[in-house]
Amino acid sequence: MIDRCFTFIIWLTAGIVFLAFGWLISEVVVQGVGKLSWSFLTDEPARSGREGGIYPIIVSTLLILGTALVIVIPLGLGSAIWLAEFTKKSSKRVQSTRLILDVLAGVPSIVFGLFGYAFFCGFLDLGFSILSGGLTLACMMLPILIRTTEAGLTAVPNDWRRAGAALGVSRTTLLWQVLLPYASPAITAGLLLSIGRATAETAALIFTSGYVDRMPESLNDSGRALAVHIYDLSMNVVGGDKAAYGSALVLIIMVVIINLSANALSEFWLEKKINRLQ
């Protein structure tokens, strides 16, 4: 009897979770799909975004994301490789580095925003610009990318390293030819996770890349990210709800497409490299 109650409760919680999220998603799709059209994606916003499209905003979002990736990929991968392959796991230095990364990963995005505002916009004098926003996002993505890449590399069986050493292959070559390809799905997954977080980010961008919804002409221009656009439409623009839901739908679709395509890519890469190894 108690057992049956427990089963019922578990199914009930799953049902509640499913319904709550079903409500959320269906609301976004139903309200947003009416707004979605080719011209919505290719027009400039009009009347503070109530009408017109979101073309400059999509461009700004991609530019901010691109800037962040250019910085974070070498920095993140390099750090992770160092942690996983070039240090002793138990050394004091590595452990304190880990703690630093854990703390960084937990720093609220608004605090990254404050930091970006003080450091990139103020101290480095980049102003409200796509560059400032991208750099701030890079700081946010860094700890996630390092931890996931490191975990991916640590999961490579040690036999492969020993085999490499026995063949007299340098660690560096071994890394490029064997370890990185093997760990690529995990690395791509980590990259995705951080891209997803960056695409969704609002709080860190308000005071770094700014609000301007014109087409950016260079990286020094202010640009409004899609998430900031949704925030602005729903909070500051009366009657902007429809356009906000339209933009929200575009944002969700973007996140899903990034996830799916990168997944497919990493599987393809893994298959090719492992086949060559065998």
Partner 1 sequence: MNKSVSQTKDIDWWFGMALSLLMGVAALLLLLIIVFLTNEAWPVLQGGSWAQFFNADGWYPLENKLGLLPMLWATLAVSFGALILALPLGLGSAIFIEYYAPKFIGKPFSSVVTLLAGIPSVVFGLWGLTKLVPLINNIHPPGASLLAAVLVLALMILPTITLTSRSALSSLPSHLLQNSAALALSKKSMIIGVLIPSALRGIIGGVLLALVRAVGETMAVLMVAGNVVQTPTGLFDPVRVLTANIALEMAYATDNHRAALFASGLLLMILVFCVAWIASRLSSGETNGYD
Smallest gap from Cβ 276 to partner 1, in A, equals 22
User: How long, in residues, is the chain?
Assistant: 278
What mask, x for binding partner 1 by CB under 8 A, covers residues 82 to 111?
A: xx--x----------xxxxxxxxxxxxxxx
| Site for partner 1, residues 132 to 171, rule: CB under 8 A | 139, 142, 146, 168-171
Smallest distance from the beta carbon of 210 to partner 1, in angstroms?
10
> Does 231 sit near partner 1 (CB under 8 A)?
yes
Cα–Cα dist 237/33, whole Å: 20
**Nearest residue (CB) to partner 1, 66 versus 122:** 122
CB of 275 to partner 1, least distance (A): 27
The radius of gyration of the chain's CA atoms, rounded to the nearest angstrom, is 22
Separation between Cα atoms, residue 28 and residue 241, nearest integer Å: 11
Contact yes or no for 254/240 (Cβ under 8 A) = no
Quick one: which of 166, 235, 238, 275 contacts partner 1 (CB under 8 A)? 235
| Interactions with partner 1, residue window 169-198 (CB under 8 A) | 169-173, 196
Question: H helices within 34-91, ranges in order?
Answer: 38-42, 55-85
Indicate which single residue of 200, 212, 237, 262 sits in contact with partner 1 (rule: CB under 8 A): 200
Say which amino acid occupies 47: R
- Judge contact between 210 and 64, C-beta under 8 A: no
Question: Does the protein bind partner 1 through residue 123 (CB under 8 A)?
Answer: yes
For residue 117, the minimal CB distance to partner 1 (Å) is 7
- Cα(83)–Cα(28) distance, rounded to whole angstroms? 42
Pick 14 or 215: Cβ nearer partner 1:
14
- Where does this chain touch partner 1 (CB under 8 A) — which range of 48-56, 57-65, 113-121, 151-159? 113-121
- DSSP 8-state symbol, 45: E
End-to-end CA distance of the chain: 55
* Interior angle at CA 195, CA 94 and CA 105, nearest 5: 35
State yes or no: residue 227 binds partner 1 (CB under 8 A).
Answer: yes
- For 161, residues 6+ apart whose C-beta sits below 8 A from its C-beta are 174, 179
Stretch that binds partner 1, among 12-20, 43-51, 52-60, 180-188 (CB under 8 A): 12-20
The single residue among 29, 75, 237, 262 that binds partner 1, judged by CB under 8 A, is: 75
